[in-house]
Amino acid sequence: MNSVKSDIKDINLADFGQKKIDWAGHLMPVLNLIRRRFAKEKPLEGITIGACLHVTAETANLMLTLTSGGAKVALCASNPLSTKNEVASALVKNHEISTFAICGEDNKTYYSHLQSVLDFHPQITMDDGADLVSLLHQEKKDRLREVLGSSEETTTGVNRLKAMEKNGALKIPIVAVNESDTKHLFDNRYGTGQSSIDGIIRATNILLAGKTLVVAGYGWCGRGVAMRAKGMGANVIVTEVNPIAALEAVMDGFRVMKISQAAKIADIIITATGNKHVIDSNIIDKLKSGAIIANTGHFDVEIDVVYLEKAKKAKRTLRDNLEEYILKTGQKVYLLSSGRLVNLAAAEGHPPDVMDLSFANQALACEWIIKNKGKLKNKVYVLPKRIDQTIARLKLRATGISFDSLTKGQRQYLGSWQEGT
Ligand code: ADE
């Protein structure tokens, strides 16, 4: 216990947190298989991993997988509002994992927690949003040469890292876990779909049936939210800037229009774009009075909360994660989770069953970085297809689902060109 460092809310929450970790673990069979193999083979022996992730029960199971592989791990939060304090407590008290995360921490504390993780001199870093890598490159340049590589969980982080690569600023190899099919096709779509609806409902207790719900952005996350909202009876409108995604949304059966039009009729708008000021002052001014606005993108930049604050006459908190703004115009606007990702702040994030796939990728990314030590360039890599497919196979097997394989004749046919009509 002596070498364990921490800054957490309350160590006495450990029993409660442990039960959550156990339940989530029970729903993460692929990660459990990896954990058992790691325990035997110790592929991460002697490696220190610094992780900046949402501190949830699912993340705790990833941390336990990494430590079973022989790694020493230090963990901080990747968002000030997503930490589950009881989980942080269990990690420290029951598992001796150094953890720096308090739900509701201010920005200064958030960054001091990142610094605390970097003080462990990690050889591998793990990010959800690229804040740790960004800090390493901007303030801890001397530590960069100690780093073998880093893995990145989310679309926003991958975008930042690709921008660094393009600018020649990237000084370490990156594995873009988000680019694995077993990550974005499942976590971003089904995970964000379900957990964002969960967050909206927990914050407001509204009935979705019959409501006009606008989804800004039709990437994998937006698709998931639109699909699930439709399933609950909402009239879903999609807004997009990409003509192909807009066309897909139309053919998936959604109305597509400009956000400036949608704002006038929306009961609920949820942003899932990864971009800034999607709900800006113009859109806020157009909102129907009583509209609920929420964000499920990584950073709290999609809604211009600064404008909302300036435009308000009064504000009050009605429920956890639900603030009523009465604007000088007389409009009422309801903001969820201060514009931070509603699925993690107001609910529990993606369910364990889907984080099983994402975190299997994360664990195997660490192993891959170590196996390829000295061979990797300072660029953004995707895990080999073989690993992606193994994760899918293991998940299917764990779920008791069998599927077909090609016959020899079919394999030959697919590789041939002579046979036609
Ligand atoms: N990102 C989205 N959902 C998550 C969860 N449950 N745990 C960790 N990271 C997440």
**What does the pLDDT profile of the chain (421 residues) look like in tens digits?**
458 999 999 999 999 999 999 999 999 999 999 999 999 999 999 999 999 999 999 999 999 999 999 999 999 999 999 999 999 999 999 999 999 999 999 999 999 999 999 999 999 999 999 999 999 999 999 999 999 999 999 999 999 999 999 999 999 999 999 999 999 999 999 999 999 999 999 999 999 999 999 999 999 999 999 999 999 999 999 999 999 999 999 999 999 999 999 999 999 999 999 999 999 999 999 999 999 999 999 999 999 999 999 999 999 999 999 999 999 999 999 999 999 999 999 999 999 999 999 999 999 999 999 999 999 999 999 999 999 999 999 999 999 999 999 999 999 999 999 988 8
Q: Does residue 206 lie in a domain region? A: yes
**Closest approach atom of ligand 1 to CA 58:** 7
Element containing residue 323 per DSSP (H, E): strand 322-327
Distance (angstroms) between ligand 1 centre and the Cα of 319 equals 23
- Give the residue numbers spanning the domain of 331: 191-345
Q: Is the dihedral of CA 331, 336, 339, 341 positive or negative?
A: negative
Distance (angstroms) between ligand 1 centre and the Cα of 372 equals 27
**Closest approach atom of ligand 1 to CA 24:** 6
Residue to mutate, 31, 61, 350, ligand 1, most ligand atoms under 8 Å from C-beta: 350
pLDDT in tens, 356-404: 999 999 999 999 999 999 999 999 999 999 999 999 999 999 999 999 9
What is the CATH number for 131? 3.40.50.1480
Number of domains in the chain: 2
Q: Does residue 107 lie in a domain region? A: yes
Q: Which two tokens stand for residue 274?
A: 């990864």
Distance (angstroms) between ligand 1 centre and the Cα of 28 equals 13
pLDDT in tens, 112-157: 999 999 999 999 999 999 999 999 999 999 999 999 999 999 999 9
Q: Is the dihedral of CA 218, 54, 206, 232 positive or negative?
A: positive
d(CA 119, CA 357): 30
**Closest approach atom of ligand 1 to CA 78:** 9
* 152 & 13 share domain: yes
Distance (angstroms) between ligand 1 centre and the Cα of 402 equals 28
Residue type, 213: L
**Closest approach atom of ligand 1 to CA 56:** 7
Q: Which two tokens stand for residue 246?
A: 């807009």
* 295 & 356 share domain: no
d(CA 251, CA 257): 14
Sequence-distant (6+) residues with CB within 8 A of 403 are: 396
Q: Does residue 419 lie in a domain region? A: no
* 357 & 251 share domain: no
* 357 & 393 share domain: yes
Which residue in the block uniquely carries the two structure tokens 């201010």? 106
Q: How far apart are the first and last CA of the chain?
A: 71
* 341 & 356 share domain: no
What is the CATH number for 234? 3.40.50.720
Sequence-distant (6+) residues with CB within 8 A of 408 are: none
Q: Does residue 139 lie in a domain region? A: yes
Question: What does 198-219 look like in DSSP terms, one character per residue?
Answer: HHHHHHH----TT-EEEEE--S
DSSP H helices in 232-374: 243-251, 259-265, 281-286, 305-311, 342-345, 352-371
Q: How far is CA 279 from CA 258, 293, 380, in A?
A: 12, 9, 31
Element containing residue 269 per DSSP (H, E): strand 268-271
Residues within a 6 A CB radius of ligand 1: 53-54, 56, 58-59, 191, 344, 349-350, 355
In the sheet that holds 235-239, the strands lie side by side as 255-256, 235-239, 212-216, 268-271, 291-295, 332-336, 322-327, 312-319
**Closest approach atom of ligand 1 to CA 348:** 6
Distance (angstroms) between ligand 1 centre and the Cα of 237 equals 26
Q: Does residue 87 lie in a domain region? A: yes
Parallel, antiparallel or unpaired: strands 312-319 and 322-327: antiparallel
* 246 & 101 share domain: no
* 292 & 228 share domain: yes
d(CA 190, CA 171): 34
Distance (angstroms) between ligand 1 centre and the Cα of 359 equals 9
* 41 & 79 share domain: yes
* 51 & 173 share domain: yes
Distance (angstroms) between ligand 1 centre and the Cα of 349 equals 5
* 177 & 70 share domain: yes
pTM more than 0.85: yes
Q: Domain end: 323, 345, 367, which one?
A: 345
* 257 & 292 share domain: yes
d(CA 222, CA 230): 12
